[in-house]
Structure 1
């Protein structure tokens, strides 16, 4: 046998060559790959890609324009982070111009348009206004740059012919420009033919004949992925800027274990640098945290959106450790998503989920992930990446139809008339308010000179600050009977020896003036034996002070646990529950519009000298929906552990949200323990979850407060 001797340096060179060939074979090699450096006679390198100067183009690309104007700028005028040769030159078009490109492979292609405005001779590119179209789709309509940074507009067009014609049309009395152009074929599997709508039970959305525009491409884990690190030259931006609550999130990075399989996503769907980073719900401080991580995105009205979620469990070494919910706006994109089922129980295997959101009637799209209640595993939620693509509308537009936003002549006339009528109406209302205010002020002054009841100069419920200081012995700390988000609560005695509870707003309070006004408005209009009565208020010297009837026996919470109050009997507990329910029922039904409390909890149910229950603390209360509406859309407010999950997820408030919170109070009454108790074993920390598990097992008796056993 003859053994061939290969010198070491040649062997190393050969091995490197083989490795490079293997690596290259794993990368996507596009059939059509047009990269054009517009307005330049030289090529420009961007990472490992070369953009050809438009004077070096072959016959596969033809630019038809009445007048070629090549613009260039010095490198000093380009922002440092974008100092690429690609943005030093531009082609200026003063009339309609066409790029005609030969297409070898039919199917989806990237079309990327690069823009960076600079001044060239008499042309200030930031003043350019123009449209771009192709394949009967309008990609840009009366487009004008609003920033002095490079902008890349990215589209996916499904090309079924042998040529693609891109038309650039300057707007009236303006011009157009382009710094660079990309037309690149993409893998067939990148975009499916149809996708299920998330907010409709109807048929799937057909994407074959639609154009798509990339609106957002986000990498969770708060890291940027540059085009050089993506097989399809995509840029992924960090997610931190889109997050609603940063303190709920933990950014993680662990790209090594990402395990691509034959049946799962490829690197063309998303690279390891995306699947290897994630934003996780931070449950380190509270393992029972039951909330959503939410990202906010501004979108255009009147368009459908393809939304793609990317998932890869890069933390758990065993499958079946993670289940969570995925939402778009208030809709379930996926309920109880178990990644191990989707990835054949393979560890760190990527998975992606596509859904379509129907035409948006609001300019905000929210995406959330949150813990699932239907799981026995450790509660958590995560997301690795997100793509949001606008779908062309029935007119073939991918840009806002500026003309349709302009009011017609009739609309203009109606607008003028409406403004005029509105102005007259507002003037009349202001005049009436002014008249009533003057009249009331005179009456108040007259009443004040005749009567000074309880040491207060009264205008309805108004007390003087001097009277409040006297009632609390100048806010003696020994008289503090409670502390809340609004401020401290003092026991006070008025001049007629009436005992009162005085809540003094903290200058650092996050609730502040809105809560102060809401409390006065609500309690000055409602009277019920099971609602705490408001006696008065004080707003002198920048103070926000509320005066209530004094409840001798404190809060229901204090009687159930954590205080020196005697234990309540079962009969007393039932009477307290019935009284509280009556108070809430009156709020929900006692006027034309219901009042939703929004903070029902045992600490806000007070007991008088006879232990009669009264619902208190209306600072977060909200007027309920109109008759023709099912809910009120509002930011989530309330106390952790008592929040209605549907309200938390959808931000849609109804009376049922109070009912859920009251249900939690009923559990407290039965169990005699806090809603959240971190000192207990993990499965018992959250009272509601523990109670539901015992109920399913038929072991409900384990819930009962030991003080109630056999009673």
Structure 2
């Protein structure tokens, strides 16, 4: 499969090929890995997941040295050789601006090590829940769009005829580049799946992360691309409210809380307080609408990642314009400039699914915050 050369004299490139797509992947020796990590020095640990610890290192790739992230399998991990080779094969075949690039691997005795491009800003999960990085609403939309593009590529844009289902989409598997571009990572659970029929499924043991797992997949074991769409919907709401999917404040999880909040017409409580003044009501409704569709209990009613991406891109354009207007201390008269621009995200009747009925004047590009500059009655949200 990917034999270990075992010569200890430097990396070599091996060609890996499955389902007709070939890429080059470096095979590193254990000596090179030990040198790059200073014998797995704990001070170089930059993360830890279900696979094991991740070290920042500097390793020779061809004629140059590069900063890399080196993921070392923990022998006590629930993941193992199957997941290791799955990730090597998958990332050797896939290349996209919004997927983390695999530089190489090392398979030596019991050591199973993956070497990736280094992502200086770490995981989205850390920024949302540990570092509490002050991400603006526009920043969040850009990150969502990058991740959505990566998933869309997996589902429909690869040279792999039957496409890829990630199976473990979550905020900790979205990494952030130096430019803050989002990249999908961790393909140990990914599966090959058909692309020509959206609901064609793969029967598999249920794997993933609680809080993100598609309930339909959990109940039936039938894995589809729409299972990734469900998990991404959870990530979208996680970005909006900055709460973990299994936050202790929830009785039944984030998805249930979201549905209840929408049913109760309480959209305001879905928005993280730090960004409320940055979001217009129109954009909020558009975002909630596409994210809620991702969480539909019926997979065939969920959008494709192509649709999710295009919708988020449209919302970003609106949000950038709204931000510019606020910077210039000017907001449009409700209903005069943008009119019913929100109709770009139609339901069959006003307020359907969101559980709200809004007049044209209330469907305008004004902030949802109940503070200064807000024209939205608090009663709309409670």
| TM-score, normalised via structure 2 length | 0.65
Which runs of 5 or more residues in structure 1 are unaligned? 1-432
Pick the aligned partner of 2:115 from 547, 562, 569. 547
* Cα separation, 2, equivalents of 1:674 and 1:547: 29
Pick the aligned partner of 1:584 from 135, 151, 160. 151
* Cα separation, 2, equivalents of 1:609 and 1:674: 24
Q: Residue 688 of structure 1 aligns with which residue?
A: 255
The aligned length equals 262
Which runs of 5 or more residues in structure 2 are unaligned? 15-24, 279-382
* Cα separation, 1, equivalents of 2:246 and 2:127: 17
* Cα separation, 2, equivalents of 1:566 and 1:508: 32
Pick the aligned partner of 1:602 from 149, 171, 179. 171
Bigger radius of gyration: 1
Cα RMSD of the aligned pairs, angstroms, is: 2.4
Pick the aligned partner of 2:30 from 465, 469, 475. 465
Q: CA deviation at 1:596?
A: 0.2
Q: CA deviation at 1:456?
A: 2.4
Is residue 631 from structure 1 mapped to residue 201 from structure 2 by the alignment? yes
Q: Residue 211 of structure 1 aligns with which residue?
A: none
Task: Tell me which protein shows more strand as a share of its residues.
Answer: 1
* Cα separation, 2, equivalents of 1:573 and 1:615: 15
Is residue 11–residue 26 contact of structure 2 (8 Å, CA) maintained in 1?
no
| TM-score, normalised via structure 1 length | 0.35
Is residue 124–residue 172 contact of structure 2 (8 Å, CA) maintained in 1?
yes
* Cα separation, 2, equivalents of 1:458 and 1:528: 20
Q: Residue 656 of structure 1 aligns with which residue?
A: 226
1:422-501 maps to which residues of 2 (within 5 A)? 455-459=10-14, 460-495=25-60, 496-501=64-69
1:513-592 maps to which residues of 2 (within 5 A)? 513-563=81-131, 566-589=133-156, 590=158, 591-592=160-161
Is residue 155–residue 195 contact of structure 2 (8 Å, CA) maintained in 1?
no
Is the partner of 2:139 in helix, strand or coil? helix
Pick the aligned partner of 1:640 from 210, 215, 218. 210
* Cα separation, 2, equivalents of 1:596 and 1:568: 29
Q: CA deviation at 1:484?
A: 1.3
Q: CA deviation at 1:566?
A: 2.5
Is the partner of 1:498 in helix, strand or coil? strand
Task: Tell me which protein shows more helix as a share of its residues.
Answer: 2
Q: CA deviation at 1:457?
A: 4.2
4+ runs deviating over 2 angstroms: 455-460, 625-629
* Cα separation, 1, equivalents of 2:175 and 2:12: 29
Q: Which structure ranks higher in relative contact order (CA pairs < 8 Å, sequence separation ≥ 6)? A: 2
Q: CA deviation at 1:542?
A: 1.9
